[in-house]
Structure 1
Amino acid sequence: MTRVLRRRDQNPRCELRHCKKAKGFPNSVPNVRNPFLSTNDLFLSPSQGESYAGLLPAAANTTSLRNSLYFWFFPSSSSSNPLASNELVIWLNGGPGCSSLEGLIQENGPFLWQSGTYAPQRNPFSWTNLTNVVYVDQPIGTGFSPAAEGEPGRIVDEERVARDFGVFWRNFVGAFGMQGRKIYLTGESFAGQYIPYIAKYMLDANDTEHFNLKGILINDPAFNEDDVLFQAPAVAHLNAYANIFNLNATFTASVNARADSCGYTPWLERALRYPPQGHIPSAPSSSVPGCDVYTDIVNAALLVNPCFNVDHLTDFCPYLWDILGFPSLGAGPDDYFARADVQKAINAPRTPDWAVCGNPTLGLNFQDHSPPAGLPSGPLGAVIERTGNVVVAHGSLDYLLLINGTLATIQNLTWHGRQGFHVAPSSWEEFYVPYGRNLAYAIDALTHQSVPEKSLGLVGGAGVMGRTHSERGLTFVEVWNSGHELAQYNPAAAFRLLEFLLGRVERLDVKGGGFSTEREAR
């Protein structure tokens, strides 16, 4: 049962008694047969739990639907989960300008409609199994969050993003009567820029009634300059995954020589020392002729693999059909959330040309003049100090933002009076993901026959899934077999990370046992 805020109630005074049931999701999509299961069988069924969606103002002293943020709120689906009663998780996608419905429907929501699947399916690793989750389209002008007419230049820095989100969040807390709840900010990619600034705003407000922030989780973050995040580490990553790139020896030797001459190789060696040897200077500039090695590597990879996907190195042709039109379709009739009947069902404003990322007609003109959040002058270090609970994770198969760029950022950051990590990765702990019940069922089914009698649904891998390390309130996790959208490619690992953030488990390297939700169910 999905409930939505009626338009006349879309203001800070909206209460749950003013909400109504949705009419249900449409049961057809052009050119796709039976794309959604019956509303009684999937995410509108009572067993799926209720949800709420609508717009709330993100500008002070207004109840206008313009300059508002769209949200879709899922209270925890586990009635036997008392730990969720006093907390809220906020999920933000990045971009800038990418809708958080991407995270909802393809990463960690209660139902997933992922690439190559003809219908949505239940997600056993839904974050709503752990706690209450709110997906928000932000900043203003993103997804279903409309900007006011005549304000295309509204977003100019992260301070404005944080203020707008703060106004929205006050309204959300008031609308749903959730004052004082613990808040956890989570997201990926450019949310690595948003979240530290929003976290700083919440902490500076000194208002635990509305902003009782307890921790943040950012996956594959865009929180430094491009030259650090993907230019300087581009060739080293190519070398590490040479068998996947499959580029010829002549090109590989040439691009390695250019990395040396451009200064990337010595810079990266200095940036990844443990402990750091003093302040790390800016990475060499890719604007120097011959030094845009990242673009040249991607172009070469496309010649070998025309379906090369920077989000996930091990993707090959053909592109899989995707309900969000990404990566192969782009904006068009296959974008499910662009449909009028779908928008009505989820109480979204009519947006005929909705696109999962970067819709300029909504008024988003993002020109970020704020320092990257991960710089020494950015807010991340202070957020670590003030919360003692910051998790940064990175998928090893991500070639959009590279793991060594994230590590170089951490090594140049100072918190609690010390710079970077002091323990080298060679001595880090293993990141262990439990063997869940659905995995045991899948293994049993596949052992007896190569094609199971019925669909296994979404299954997550288990065992050692990477390596992890914590120092002074910051935890870093390298997640193997995962690309840029970490929860999409390794859902069980992402679920474990949220358990750790929320304090359901104390360590990420403990072997044995199950997920906390399975223990509670016994």
Structure 2
Amino acid sequence: MCFLFLCGILLLGVVNAQFPYLNNKTQEFAVNGSAIPNVTFDIGESYAGYLPNTVTGYPSSNLYFWFFPSSNPNASDEITVWLNGGPGCSSLAGLMLENGPFLWEPGTYAPVRNPFSWTNLTNVVYIDQPSGTGFSLGPSTAISEFDIARQFTYFWKLFARTFDLQNRKVYLTGESYAGQYIPYIAAQMLDMKNTTYFNVAGVQLNDPYINDLTVLQDAPALSAINHHPSLFPFNSAFKSHLTTLAQTCNYTTLLTTALTYPPPLTPFPPVSHSPNCTTLYTQILSAISAQNPCFNPSHITDTCPPPWNPIGGPILSVGPGPTNYFNRSDVQAAINASPTDFSLCKGNIFRTPDGLDPSPPSSLGPLARVIEGTNNTLIAHGTLDFGLLVNGTLVSIQNMTWNGKKGFQREPVEGLWVPFREGGGSGGGVLGTAHTERGLTWSEVWGSGLEIPRYSPGAAYRQLEFLLGRIDSLSDQVEKFSTE
């Protein structure tokens, strides 16, 4: 596709500062930034479309991308990838609800500019992967994370060649099940030892799926409801039942052992995987949903009515809505997407008998190696996420060995300082914790649910600044004020 004014630029051979990535290779992907349906402002230069993710066997298998160049001069040698999770959820959820240049907030009539757009800092590409996800055309061909990593790197080399992004620093970011995707992709890139295309400079995982659900949900569930008693107002008999169950299943002992600094070098206590034990989390969900029919595990302060969802729901932490924006034919045409019955999340994305991912959890697989390979890995977690719990992620970290030691040696209690930004509307000050050891940074964000860029955009923006190396510490101002 070549819009009239863009074609004119190309035919005249004019180098236009407004469209630095536009050339004969990229013109078919150009998006008219002033013609996005319902968006009342020009979103600027961007490119969207399809590139193959496999060389043979499945010629129709490809990945859909939407690439937003940044005008920030500090971004000239880098490219940042955003992936949503699921598995099987479109990364356009992150674009339109979290950190893209325009947001359609639940309950509003039209999209608005995002003052905390990550494109203000860096070049960002949103990718629907694996194949079969979002706008990416199937069939899905992956049977493991190793397949996903191989297919992604094949796609990525083509993408870099198309937009002349060779020799760029590559930052991989995402949330939820991207905690599984990204470590495997990053490990594959690092193993290729080809910095022309795969120079992984940093990784950020928000509220990540990095272990089995017994560790991420069942084991830490009791401590979470005890931490938020007003949001889980259970009677004493039910809480006593949960306490006994947590003790019987060895969950209490696991948390006590793992959440010490430094952790013991001996293996952590095993937990029971009996059917009775692995229902602790679902018992809590059932009980709280009876009290709050609109309970949202991704953002536990939500009550009825749930916020409506402009891009198709229910999904993540927004409820059902009257529209599915990306399922509109005019929207699909504007962003170079094939006519698609678009669904924000799809199940059975792996070609396995049960449709599930058989790969080892990333914290038991490639994550430690990725930390060592980048020495710039950030794991962030919203404290109001009950889908994947803070203490479950911390237990997973404390069970990993990287750069010569097991877990964090010191308790992560330093403050996360977020500057006030005029006109941003996100607040500032100390909004959580931030702690770095041996190339891994852990950051809790108080008051945020699963989607940190949505619920605490200033904190997410600050964390990205740190990942990109624009600031040296997430606690600088805290340290400054504490010494004055």
| TM-score relative to the length of structure 1 | 0.83
Q: Does 1:504 align with 2:470?
A: yes
Residues 62 and 18 of structure 1, relative CA distance in 2, 3 Å threshold: farther
The C-alpha deviation readout for 1:447-466, integer Å capped at 9, x for no partner, is xxxxxxxxxxxx21211001
Q: Which position in structure 1 is the counterpart of 2:330?
A: 341
Matches within 5 A, 1:340-489: 340-352=329-341, 354-358=342-346, 366-375=355-364, 378-425=365-412, 428-439=413-424, 459-489=425-455
RMSD between superposed Cα atoms in Å: 2.7
In 1, the alpha carbon distance for the partners of 2:61 and 2:308 equals 33
In 2, the alpha carbon distance for the partners of 1:311 and 1:3 equals 41
Q: Does 1:97 align with 2:88?
A: yes
Residues 53 and 363 of structure 1, relative CA distance in 2, 3 Å threshold: farther
Point out the more displaced range, 291-300 or 393-402: 291-300
**1:410 maps to amino acid:** I
Contact 2:349–2:355 (8 Å) recurs in 1: no
Q: Which position in structure 2 is the counterpart of 1:69?
A: 63
Point out the more displaced range, 18-27 or 276-285: 18-27
Q: Which position in structure 2 is the counterpart of 1:86?
A: 77
Identity %: 49
Task: Measure how far apart 1:480 and its partner are.
Answer: 0.5
Contact 1:233–1:264 (8 Å) recurs in 2: yes
In 2, the alpha carbon distance for the partners of 1:55 and 1:292 equals 42
The counterpart of 2:51, out of the listed 35, 38, 56, is 56
Contact 1:286–1:292 (8 Å) recurs in 2: no
SS in 2 for 1:243: coil
The C-alpha deviation readout for 1:240-263, integer Å capped at 9, x for no partner, is 001112222221121112111221
In 1, the alpha carbon distance for the partners of 2:122 and 2:87 equals 26
Point out the more displaced range, 398-407 or 381-390: 381-390
**2:426 maps to amino acid:** G
The C-alpha deviation readout for 1:314-364, integer Å capped at 9, x for no partner, is 111101111123337888972111122211111111112x11111569989
In 1, the alpha carbon distance for the partners of 2:287 and 2:2 equals 47
Task: Measure how far apart 1:101 and its partner are.
Answer: 0.1
Contact 1:56–1:172 (8 Å) recurs in 2: yes
The counterpart of 1:136, out of the listed 127, 135, 141, is 127
Task: Measure how far apart 1:168 and its partner are.
Answer: 0.5
In 2, the alpha carbon distance for the partners of 1:259 and 1:430 equals 31
Task: Measure how far apart 1:2 and its partner are.
Answer: 10
In 2, the alpha carbon distance for the partners of 1:348 and 1:297 equals 41
In 1, the alpha carbon distance for the partners of 2:90 and 2:264 equals 40
Q: Which position in structure 1 is the counterpart of 2:18?
A: none
Q: Does 1:490 align with 2:478?
A: no
SS in 2 for 1:209: coil
SS in 2 for 1:233: helix
The C-alpha deviation readout for 1:168-225, integer Å capped at 9, x for no partner, is 0001001111110110000000000110110011111111111111010000000101
Residues 290 and 231 of structure 1, relative CA distance in 2, 3 Å threshold: closer
In 2, the alpha carbon distance for the partners of 1:232 and 1:84 equals 41
Residues 392 and 359 of structure 1, relative CA distance in 2, 3 Å threshold: same
In 2, the alpha carbon distance for the partners of 1:410 and 1:178 equals 33
Q: Which position in structure 2 is the counterpart of 1:16?
A: 26
Residues 19 and 348 of structure 1, relative CA distance in 2, 3 Å threshold: closer
The C-alpha deviation readout for 1:400-446, integer Å capped at 9, x for no partner, is 00000100000000011110001023xx211010011115xxxxxxx
Contact 2:62–2:131 (8 Å) recurs in 1: yes
In 1, the alpha carbon distance for the partners of 2:405 and 2:98 equals 35
**2:26 maps to amino acid:** L
Contact 1:183–1:213 (8 Å) recurs in 2: yes
| TM-score relative to the length of structure 2 | 0.89
In 2, the alpha carbon distance for the partners of 1:279 and 1:14 equals 59
Residues 285 and 156 of structure 1, relative CA distance in 2, 3 Å threshold: farther
Residues 246 and 371 of structure 1, relative CA distance in 2, 3 Å threshold: same
Contact 2:142–2:351 (8 Å) recurs in 1: no
**1:501 maps to amino acid:** L
Residues 283 and 298 of structure 1, relative CA distance in 2, 3 Å threshold: farther
Q: Which position in structure 2 is the counterpart of 1:157?
A: 144
SS in 1 for 2:243: helix
Q: Which position in structure 2 is the counterpart of 1:274?
A: 261
Contact 1:244–1:314 (8 Å) recurs in 2: yes
**1:113 maps to amino acid:** W
How many residues get paired?
460
In 1, the alpha carbon distance for the partners of 2:221 and 2:349 equals 34
Residues 3 and 499 of structure 1, relative CA distance in 2, 3 Å threshold: farther
Contact 2:250–2:272 (8 Å) recurs in 1: no
Task: Measure how far apart 1:117 and its partner are.
Answer: 2.1
**2:55 maps to amino acid:** A
SS in 1 for 2:423: helix
Task: Measure how far apart 1:18 and its partner are.
Answer: 4.7
Residues 195 and 279 of structure 1, relative CA distance in 2, 3 Å threshold: farther
The counterpart of 1:184, out of the listed 146, 171, 175, is 171
SS in 2 for 1:244: coil
In 2, the alpha carbon distance for the partners of 1:239 and 1:331 equals 30
Residues 51 and 2 of structure 1, relative CA distance in 2, 3 Å threshold: farther
Contact 1:185–1:215 (8 Å) recurs in 2: yes
The C-alpha deviation readout for 1:370-426, integer Å capped at 9, x for no partner, is 211111xx111111111110000000000000000100000000011110001023x
Query: Which segments of 5 or more consecutive residues in structure 2 lack a partner in the other structure?
Result: 8-22, 480-484
Residues 23 and 122 of structure 1, relative CA distance in 2, 3 Å threshold: closer
SS in 1 for 2:372: helix
Q: Does 1:308 align with 2:295?
A: yes
Residues 323 and 369 of structure 1, relative CA distance in 2, 3 Å threshold: same
In 2, the alpha carbon distance for the partners of 1:332 and 1:340 equals 18
Query: Which segments of 5 or more consecutive residues in structure 1 lack a partner in the other structure?
Result: 7-12, 28-35, 440-458, 514-522
